[in-house]
């Protein structure tokens, strides 16, 4: 329990580092960019609650199957929770695309911030389709108590993210910052995705 929760704690630190870098970098661009990014991040957090629900379901269902060494049940749990997580991600992307401008008007009355946030709304629309995979794989790996792999993947993802910010922001500005945030989510999914076949093999060998 100590090992697993320690790994999850370190993983969470990686998330906080990424958000801190995102906020600090946006702040250096100016007050309008900082405010626009804060609104867009808050908008994207609604997606997190929905996707985390299916990640938690995957954690419980795959953990039970992994403990029982039941590969068929494990795969069925992964397939079912992934299917609904993807449906939810598409739903959030559609909602952001349709209602995003209205939500921005509701969240701020400053015309400059509204306009700036509207310029970058496309990144929030696409974020659920990218983030769904890392959230869901986190749940699967936690359920299987493969948290060390998740912790190491987060370390790699955070380093790649910081490098992307360093390279992309000077060239593309705030678009580069949002691109780097997408890279962070994609790297989290990639570093876990390449380890997933080993997780299934470990279950068969046990």
Query: In sequence order, what are the residues at sequence separation of 6 or more whose Cβ sits closer than 8 angstroms to the Cβ of residue 188?
Result: 134, 137, 138, 153, 154, 157
Range of the domain at 100: 2-205
Section 149-153 average pLDDT: 95
Number of independent structural domains in the chain: 1
Asked if residue 174 lies in contact with residue 23, where contact means CB atoms within 8 angstroms, the answer is no
pLDDT in tens, 7-65: 999 999 999 999 999 999 999 999 999 999 999 999 998 888 889 889 999 999 999 99
* pTM exceeding the 0.75 threshold for the entire prediction: yes
Alpha helices of 68-173 — where are they, by DSSP H? Answer: 71-107, 111-119, 121-143, 147-172
Burial of 79 from C-beta contacts in 10 A (0-12 / 13-18 / 19+): exposed
């Amino acid at each position: 329990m100590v090992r697993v929760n320690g790994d999850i704690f370190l993983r969470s630190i990686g998330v906080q580092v990424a958000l801190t870098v995102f906020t600090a970098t946006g702040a250096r661009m100016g007050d309008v960019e900082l405010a626009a990014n804060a609104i867009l991040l808050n908008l994207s957090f609604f997606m997190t609650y929905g996707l985390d629900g299916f990640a938690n379901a995957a954690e419980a269902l795959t953990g039970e199957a992994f403990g029982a060494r039941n590969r068929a049940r494990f795969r069925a749990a992964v397939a079912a929770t992934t299917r609904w997580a993807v449906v939810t991600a598409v739903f959030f992307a559609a909602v952001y695309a349709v209602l995003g401008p209205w939500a921005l008007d509701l969240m701020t009355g400053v015309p400059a911030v509204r306009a700036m946030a509207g310029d970058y709304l496309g990144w929030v629309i696409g974020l659920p389709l990218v983030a769904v995979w890392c959230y869901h794989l986190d749940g699967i790996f936690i359920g299987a108590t493969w948290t060390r792999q998740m912790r190491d993947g987060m370390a790699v993802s955070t380093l790649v993210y910081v490098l992307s910010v360093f390279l992309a922001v000077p060239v593309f500005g705030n678009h580069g910052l949002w691109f780097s945030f997408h890279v962070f989510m994609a790297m989290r999914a990639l570093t876990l995705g390449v380890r997933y076949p080993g997780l299934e093999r470990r279950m068969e060998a046990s």
